[in-house]
Structure 1
Amino acid sequence: MTDTTQTDTENRQCAAWGAVLSMSLCVALLLASEFMPVSLLTPMADGLGVSEGATGQAISISGLFALVASLMSTTVAGRVNRKSVLVGLTMLMLISLVIVAMAPNFAALITARAILGICIGGFWALATAVMMRLVPSHDVPRALSIMYGGQAIASAFAAPLGAWLGDIFGWRAVFWALTPLVAINLVWQLTVLPSLPARGRQNFGALVDVLSRPYFLRGLIAAMLSWGSAFTMFTYLRPFLEQFNGADVLTLSLLLLVLGLAGFVGTWVAGRFIGQRVAPLLKLPALVMGVITLGLLFTSGSILATGVLLAGWGMMNTALSVIFMTWMSQNVSDAPEAGGSLMVAAIQGSILLGAIWGGLLLDHLSITATFVGSVALSALAVILIGNGQNLLRPVNSPKHTGD
Structure 2
Amino acid sequence: MIQRNNLLIYILMIGVFGILTTEMGIVGILPSVAEQFDISVSRASLLVSLFALAVAISGPILPLLFSGINRKVVMLLVLGIFIISNIVSYFAANFTILLIARIIPAFFHPVYCSMALTVAAGSVRQEDAPKAVSKVILGVTAGMILGVPITNYIASGTSIEKAMLFFAIVNAIAFIATIIFVPSMPVKERQSYGSQISVLKKPMIWLAILSVLFIGSAIASVNSFSTEYLGTVTNLTGTTLTFALFLLGLASLVGNLAGGRLLTKNAMKTALLFPIALGISLALSFFTGKSTVLMLITIMLWGLFFAIGNNVAQYWITSAAPEAPDFANGLFLSCSNFGITIGTAVGGLFISGMGTPYIVVGGILFLLLSWISILLRKYMFNSKKHQQVS
Into which bin does the TM-score normalised by the smaller protein fall?
0.7 to 0.9
**TM-score, normalised with respect to structure 1:** 0.81
Aligned to 2:323: 334
Aligned to 2:40: 50
Alpha-carbon distance between aligned partners in 1 of 2:76 and 2:379, rounded to the nearest angstrom: 37
| Equivalent residue runs for 1:4-403 within 5 Å | 12-40=1-29, 49-51=39-41, 58-77=47-66, 79-98=68-87, 107-108=96-97, 110-154=99-143, 157-169=146-158, 173-199=162-188, 201-275=190-264, 277-296=266-285, 299=288, 301-358=290-347, 367-368=356-357, 370-386=359-375, 389-390=378-379, 394-396=383-385
* Cα distance, 1:64–1:290 mapped onto 2, change above 3 Å: farther
Alpha-carbon distance between aligned partners in 2 of 1:246 and 1:230, rounded to the nearest angstrom: 22
Aligned residue pair count: 387
CA contact (8 A) 2:209 2:317 kept: no
Instruction: Specify the code of the residue in structure 1 equivalent to 2:258.
Output: V
| Identical positions, percent | 19
Secondary structure of residue in 2 paired with 1:148:
helix
Instruction: Specify the code of the residue in structure 2 equivalent to 1:241.
Output: L
Alpha-carbon distance between aligned partners in 2 of 1:282 and 1:98, rounded to the nearest angstrom: 41
Aligned to 1:8: none
Instruction: Specify the code of the residue in structure 2 equivalent to 1:20.
Output: I
Alpha-carbon distance between aligned partners in 2 of 1:398 and 1:293, rounded to the nearest angstrom: 32
Q: CA deviation at 1:21?
A: 0.9
* Higher mean C-alpha deviation, range 109-118 or range 14-23: 109-118
Secondary structure of residue in 2 paired with 1:386:
helix
CA contact (8 A) 2:115 2:326 kept: yes
Instruction: Specify the code of the residue in structure 1 equivalent to 2:248.
Output: L
Runs (5+) with no aligned partner, structure 2: none
Summarize deviations over 1:129-178 as a string: whole Å, max 9, x none.
Answer: 21233223233122112222223433553344344445444555434323
Q: CA deviation at 1:221?
A: 0.6
CA contact (8 A) 1:39 1:238 kept: no
Summarize deviations over 1:195-247 as a string: whole Å, max 9, x none.
Answer: 22234555553344212212221111111110122123323333443433444
* Cα distance, 1:317–1:103 mapped onto 2, change above 3 Å: farther
Summarize deviations over 1:36-78 as a string: whole Å, max 9, x none.
Answer: 24444565566664356x6666523222211222222244326
CA contact (8 A) 2:128 2:264 kept: no
* Cα distance, 1:373–1:22 mapped onto 2, change above 3 Å: same
Secondary structure of residue in 2 paired with 1:29:
helix
Secondary structure of residue in 1 paired with 2:384:
coil
Alpha-carbon distance between aligned partners in 1 of 2:287 and 2:121, rounded to the nearest angstrom: 43
* Cα distance, 1:301–1:368 mapped onto 2, change above 3 Å: closer
Instruction: Specify the code of the residue in structure 1 equivalent to 2:305.
Output: M
